[in-house]
Amino acid sequence: MPPRPAQDPAAAPVSAVIGVDSSTQSTKAAVVDIATGRLLAVGRAPHTVTGRAGARESDPGQWWDALCAAVAAALAEADLDPAAVTGIAVAGQQHGLVVLGADGTPLRPALLWNDTRSAPQAAALTRALGGTDAWLERTGSVPVASMTAAKWMWLRENEPDTAAATAAVRLPHDHLTERLTGTAVTDPGDASGTCWYDPVAGAYDPVLLDLTGMRAALLPEVAPTGAAPAGRLTPEAARALGLPPGIPVAAGTGDNMAAAVGLGLGAEGLLDHPVISLGTSGTVFAATRNRPHSPLLAGFAATDGTRLPLGCTLNCTLAVDKVAALLGLDREDAAPGGETVLLPFLDGERTPDLPDASGLLHGLRHDTTRQQILGAAYEGAVVTLLRALDVLPLDAPDAPLRLIGGGARGTMWVETVRRLSGRAVVLPAAGELVALGAAALAAGAATGRDPVALAVEWGTGEGRELPAVPRDTTTWDRVTSVLDRAAPALLTTRP
């Protein structure tokens, strides 16, 4: 790996970019020095999510307001002349459905990725194309409630007037990029999570568009991979953000794809190296040239032309924190579950595809402790992620796991992953990897350089490696046995 430039901010004027992470719960704006990758400041602003009984929605207008507030906070913290900012890019939560009217404003709140009301539509789409194998052959993904196409079908069936009035369909990051540039554009990574895009052909699939009743004219253009800017910051957006008009705006991408860029995945030596992200949801993914073929994975594309097969669970840190709160325990006050198994499917589940699932507690004894019950929640969440890891089509099966997200800062999360995987774990030192990946995309648009190569030079994926420990096969077998026997009948609580 080439040496990184010395980090001496006084040596030369800073040329910076802004990487935006617009997630389910908040927006983060990272100001990054292009030359060194040094994180100068991070601004934050919250989002509001509404809904119950499977519904999860947000007003897209608040994403823009939060973006403006986060950028302002970051610039103030960095004490940076806005003229030093030479590019910006947005990474956003995947799959969400934003429908716009003829005037370009949202017709209704966005349906978010974790809105499970579209599960029946996802199942109907699977059948309509000929089943699971037909979808895996065509897109590498099987429709689940999270996917944009399923949400569009739900809208057509439940709010036909809104669907009929729709003049444009956007993903969350597309919507924000359009606010920045005035141009309707997406990228191959986020487009690959819609179920109407073919990641092999690199284009919208006319058969799938017809199947879902979607017109290509409603969708944004898919930008090619590479560093070319998708547009320029409009004067109106520049005034709202306090940035120079006309600076390059990258096409951006989905949050998982941006994290992959921030980690340098796909670069030499990091191809086929898996990542586990422990956040509100849990994900496992890797940059690879191999085609996935498993219903446990989504066959996503990366931003650099490689593939990014990914497994995603709905229930991760938030679900375990809920169990801790119910037990009156701190999240770290946990012990291995022993005979207890807890499947923390509190919001339904995506992997495995059980959208109507609830949590299941099994194996209680008189001597079971609260700490063991909490530890069992960790184990249930980790096992569901590792089952997806086991089917990633990787040529480096023994590569260390890179562990990121909020959970990667928790001792119990890290040790549970080590114990149940039996693999070495790397803990990247850099935080805000989604925002840093977006910053690398912005830097690529500003300089013409490869964003993944830039991230490798910045060293944002480097960190401490923990050695492998013997795999706890007893717990693994116990949890997987309960999961296989319980799903789907014992976990289904709604008709």
| pLDDT value at residue 494 | 46
The Cα 435–Cα 425 span in angstroms is 22
**347, 349, 352, 317: which is closest to 332 by C-alpha?**
317
pLDDT tens per residue, range 206-230: 999 999 999 999 999 999 876 678 9
Per-residue pLDDT tens digits for 335-385: 999 999 999 999 888 888 888 888 999 999 999 999 999 999 999 999 999
Give one DSSP letter per residue of 118-151, joined into a string: THHHHHHHHHHHTSHHHHHHHTS----TTSHHHH
**Span 67-85, mean pLDDT?**
96
pLDDT per residue over 184-195, tens digit each?
A: 999 999 999 999
Q: What pTM does this model have?
A: 0.90
Q: pLDDT per residue over 439-482, tens digit each?
A: 999 999 999 999 999 999 999 999 999 999 999 999 999 999 99
Band of pLDDT at residue 431, cut at 50, 70 and 90: confident
Q: Is the pLDDT of residue 264 over 80?
A: yes
Of 43-57, 308-322, 347-361, 413-427, which range is least confident?
347-361
Query: Which of the four pLDDT bands, split at 50, 70 and 90, describes residue 492?
Result: low
Nearest residue to 350 (alpha-carbon basis) of 392, 387, 322: 387
pLDDT reported for residue 276: 96
pLDDT score of 2 more than 90:
no
373 or 495: which leads in pLDDT: 373
**What pLDDT does 187 receive?**
94
DSSP structure string for 227-283: S--SEE--HHHHHHHT--TT-EE---EEHHHHHHHHHTTTSTT-TT--EEEESSSEE
Percentage of residues in the chain with pLDDT exceeding 90? 84
Structure tokens at 117: 């009301």
* Mean pLDDT (whole number) for 318-331: 97
Task: Please say if 255 is a catalytic residue.
Answer: yes
* Average pLDDT of span 241-246: 97
16-257: CATH architecture: 2-Layer Sandwich (3.30)
pLDDT at 173 over 90: yes
pLDDT score at 6: 43
Which residues lie below 8 Å from residue 67, measured CB to CB, with a gap of 6+? 20, 22, 27, 29, 45, 90, 176, 241
Catalytic residue among 174, 205, 255, 472: 255
**CB atoms < 10 A from the CB of 240, how many?**
18
The confidence score (pLDDT) of residue 311 equals 94
Helix (H, G, I), strand (E, B) or coil at 458: helix
**pLDDT single digits (tens) 101-142:** 999 999 999 999 999 999 999 999 999 999 999 999 999 999
pLDDT of residue 271: 87
Instruction: Give the start-to-end residue ranges of the domains of the chain.
Output: 16-257
Is residue 486 very low, low, confident or very high in pLDDT (cuts 50, 70, 90)? confident
Per residue in 6-45, pLDDT (tens digit) is 444 444 567 999 999 999 999 999 999 999 999 999 999 9
**pLDDT at 487 (0 to 100):** 75
**pLDDT (0 to 100) of residue 12:** 55
Predicted confidence at residue 488, as pLDDT, reads: 65
